[in-house]
Structure 1
Amino acid sequence: MLKLLTSPATVAAALTALFLVACGDGGPLAHPLITRYALGHPLAVATVGLFFAGAAAVLMRAVGHRAERRAVAALAICRFPTTADALAWAGESRLAAPSRVRGLLTDPPPADRAETRLGALHESAADRLHDGYGLVRTITWAVPILGFLGTVVGITLAIAGIDPDGLGESLGEVTGGLAVAFDTTALALALSLVLVFGTHAVQGAELSNLERLRDVAFRALLPLCPAAEEDPVRAAAADVAELMRRRAGDLAEVHAAAWRGSLEEMRSAWAETLTESRAAFAAGIRAETAAAAEAAERRQQAAGQEFLSAVRAATDAMTGAVSRWSDGFEEAAAADVDRSDRLRDLADSLAAIAERTEAHSMIAGRIDAGLATVNEAGHFEEAVHSLTAAAHLLTMRLGGVPGQSAPQPTSAHVVPSQRRAA
C-alpha cells in the first residue's frame, strides 16, 4: 500500500489535481496565460499531467539521492574491525552503500580478487542507475510528441472550420484551431526543457555520488577481505608460466639471432647490388655525357657558321647602305653649293636693283626741282634741255642700249608739260 502511494503515477495524479484546483476560479494560479496554455485543450491538460509524472519521478530520485549521499558519507567515516560489524551496519537497507557492503562481504573473496568484485558491483550499480531513469527519459520524449500531436489537431480543426461561403463567420473557428496548434506546441516544448535540465542535474549528482562510493568502498572494505591462500594448482600454473616465459625468451633470442643473420646477408647483398648499379649508372652517365658533349659541339659549330654568315650579310648590307648615304650626302652638298651660288647672285641682283632704285629716286627729285625752276623762271628751253639730259641719264642708268640717242621732245609733248607745270 505504501509503495503504491509513493509511486510516480500516484504522485503525478495528486500534483495534477492540485494544479487544476489552483488554476480554477479564485485559485492562486488563476491567470489568463496559464488558463490559455495549460487548460485550453484536453491535449494541453494531458501534457501537464505527463509533465507532473516526469517531475514526480525526478523529485523522488532527488529525495532518494539525499539518503544515498548520507549513507556514503557514513561509510566513509566508518572503520569496521570485522566483517560481521560491517554486515551489521549494512542491515537490510536497499541503499547503494549498504548493498555494496553486503555484495562484497557476504561471501568475501580473497584480497587479490576483491578489487575485481568491487569493480563489478560498481558497474552493476551504474547500470541500475541508468535503468532507473528509463521512465523519465520516456516522459521527456513523450511530452514534445503530445505538443506536436496538439499542433496536428489544431491545424485539422482550423482546416475543418473553414467555410468557403462564409469566410468572415468561420474566421473565429480557424484562429481557434491555430491557437490550439501553437499553444500546445509551446507548452510541450517549455515543459520538456524543464524536465531535461532537471533530469540532467539529478542524474549528474547521483553519478558523482556513485563514483565517490566506489572510492570509499575500496578504502573501507578491502582490508576486511581475507588474504590470498596458497593454491598448489595456482603455484604450479605460476611455475609453468615462468618456464614458458623463459622458453619464450630463449626462442625470441634465437629468432632474433636468425633475423640478424638474415638481415646482415640481405644488407651485404643489397650493398653489392647497389655498388654494381652505381658503377653501371656512372658508366652510362659518362657515355651519355660524351655523346651529348659531341652533339653539343657539333650544334655549336653549326650555330657559329650560321652566325658568321649572318654577320657577313649584315656587314655587306650596312656597307651598301653607308655608300648610298655617302652619295646622297655628296649630292646634297653639291646642291647646297649650287643653291648658295644662286642665292649669292640673287643678293647681287637685289643690291643692283636697290642702287638703281636709289638713282631713280635722285633723278625724280632732280626732275621735280627742274620743273619747279622752269615754273619759276619761265625758261622753257633750258627746262627742255635739262629734261632731255635727265631722261638720257635715266635711260643709261636703267640699262639702256649705248649709242642710241634719246628721242627729242616735240612741241606736242612740251605743251602738256607746261600745262602741268602751270
Structure 2
Amino acid sequence: MTMSENRKSWSLLKTDPALVLALGSTVVFYCIVLQPAMHGTLLARYTSEHAVEYVIVTLFFWGMFDIILKLLALPREYLATRHEWIPPKVGREPASKSVELLAHVRNNSAWLLASRTGRRLINALTFVAEKGSAADYREHLQHLADLDDQESHTNYTVLRFVIAVTPILGFLGTVVHFGAAIGGFSFEDMEAKLPEIVSGMGTAFNTTSVALATAMTMMFAMFLCERVELSVVASIDRLIDHDLLHRFEVKDANIVPFLAVIQTANREALDGIARTSQEQVKIWTKGLDVLFEHFAERQRLELLREQASFDALRQRYESFESQREDQMRQFFALIDKRHDENWAQIQLALDRASMFREDVSQLLQAMNAIARGEGRLVELQTSLADNLRLLNDSSQIDSALHGLTAAIHLITSRSRTIGMSDSAAA
C-alpha cells in the first residue's frame, strides 16, 4: 500500500468517527461473545457462526453509532434556532445594514457559528454585503434552504448504504452456508449425513435472520432521527424567513433614475402639502380661538347663573333653618307643658293612692271589729239556742220571743251605728 492510500484510509477514519467507534465496539463485542462461557448461547449462535455475521455486526454498530452521533448534534442545532442572532427588524432596511448585522452574527460563540443556523445566516448576510443590494436575495435564500435539505439527505447516504447492504450480506451468508452444507456430500452419503446437512441449513438461515433484524432496527432508528432533523431544518427556515426574507430594501439599477424623479416630485408634493397644512393650521387656529372665546363667555354666564342659584339656595336654606328652630322651640315648650301636666296628674294620683291606703286601713279596722262582733254573735247564738231549749223545756216561749226580738233590735241598731261611723270616717 502506498503512502497516498494510507493517508486516504486514515482520513476516512478521521472524518467518520462512527466507523472508528463501530470497529472498536465490534472488537469488544466479539471478545465477550467468543469467551468459553458464551459458547452455545443464542447470541453466539446468531453472531459468530460465519464470517458474514462478523461483517453484519460491524455494519450494525456503524449504522447505530452514526445515528447516535447525529442525535447528539441535534440539541446544538435546536439551541441555535432559539438564540437571538440579530436585532428585530423595524420595517425595510438598506442593504448596507447587512455589514453591521454580519459583524453582529460573527460575535457569537464558535459552537453557534458552526451550527446550521449560524452558517445559513452568515451566507445570507455575506451575499447582501458583498453585492451591495438585495437583488436576487429571495432566490439566494431559497438556494441556501435547498442546500440544507440536500445536506440533510446526504448525511444519511452511508446509513442508507449500510441498511441496504445488510440484508444482501444476510442472503450471501445463507447461500454460503447452503453451499458449505450441501457441497461436501455425495448423493449416496445424503441419507447418512442428513442431520448434519439440516443443521448447516439452520445455521444458514440464522445469518439472514440477523441481517434482517439489524436492518429493520437501523431503518427505524434512521426514520426517527431523520424526522427530528427535518423538524430542526424547518425551524431554521422559519427563522430565516422571519428575520431576513423581507428585511432589506430591493432596488433595481434600471429604475434608479425613475426613482430620483419620483423622489423629487414627492418632495415637491410634500412641500406643497406642508404649506397647505400650515395655512390650514392658521385658519383652524383662528377658528379655535373664536370658539374658545365663545366657550369662555358661555362658561362665565354659566358660572353667574350657578352663583345666583347657589345664593337663592343658601337663602332658602337659612329660612328653612330659622323656621325649623322656631318649630323646635315650640315643640320643646309643648313638651315642657305636657311634662308639667303629667307631673301634676302623677301628684294627684299619688295623693289619691295615699287616701286609698288610709281608706283600706280603716276598712281593715272595721273588718277586724266585725270579726270580733261575729265572735260575740256566735256566743250570743249559742246562748240563745240554750235559752230556747230551756224555754221550750219550761214552756216560756212567748217571753223568749220578746227577748229575742229585743236582742235583734239591739244588734240592728248596733250595726247601723258602725255603718254611720264608717261613712263619717270616709
TM-score under structure 2 normalisation? Answer: 0.50
TM-score under structure 1 normalisation? Answer: 0.50
By relative contact order (CA 8 Å, sep 6+), the higher-ranking structure is 2
